[in-house]
Chains A and B, each alone.
Chain A
């Protein structure tokens, strides 16, 4: 299994402050994703990356930005945190050939609370 580490595991921040979450993988996978999980909504895609410096938006990208300067690291930034961004954030990599997605491997998540 791919090694995926998310940091921090928990964070409390104030409204209006920027926050950066980190996802680190050890398996050199090309595709990486950020999801948020909220009760009643399942998981929703925020942003994804298909290579170094190659990223694109998911369905709930407003208020978020990402960067991928190295294959192993995918950063998610909340530009100005709001209470609606209180959530559990999961990073994932996909196992697959080319563009096919054969299934995700998820990190353990970051629980973010915006007060």
Chain B
């Protein structure tokens, strides 16, 4: 069965510092991979997605993620964090042909300090 691990439940970074949120997945073939962001009291918003091709994908709000098959990872990065990036971030994995089986990680809550 597919699964997603987000090893960091909480992360605190200073505004302007770089950010990397970790995501490891378990899946037998090439997966579809996603990162979502959730602001307090809001629904989730898709940040970026990987299906195939270039392993470095760009998303909204200045985020990027790199798919590393050898490490089963899809880490999210941002070179300079803004206070508005404080939110909860979810990694998700789904099979390439399965519309119903997207599995989410438990989330990483990001705190940004001035």
Please report A residues at the B interface, Cβ cutoff 8 Å: 31, 33, 35, 40-45, 48, 50, 56, 58, 90, 94, 96, 99-109
A99: B residues at CB distance < 8 A: 97-99
| A40 lies within 8 A of B100 (CB) | no
| B104 lies within 8 A of A42 (CB) | yes
For A48, the closest partner residue in chain B by CB is B100
Please report B residues at the A interface, Cβ cutoff 8 Å: 4, 32, 34, 36, 42-46, 49, 51, 90, 94, 96-102, 104-107
Given contacts A45-B102, A100-B97, A101-B32, contact A90 B46 (CB under 8 A): no
Given contacts A42-B90, A42-B107, contact A101 B102 (CB under 8 A): yes
A107: B residues at CB distance < 8 A: 43
| B45 lies within 8 A of A41 (CB) | no
| Contact among B96, B99, B105 for A42, CB-based, below 8 A | B105
Q: Top 7 nearest A-B pairs by Cβ distance? A: A106-B43, A42-B104, A42-B106, A43-B104, A103-B46, A101-B99, A106-B44
Instruction: Name 17 A/B residue pairs within 8 A (Cβ), A-sorted.
Output: A31-B100, A33-B100, A42-B107, A43-B44, A44-B104, A45-B100, A45-B102, A48-B100, A101-B98, A101-B99, A101-B100, A102-B51, A104-B36, A105-B46, A106-B43, A109-B42, A109-B43
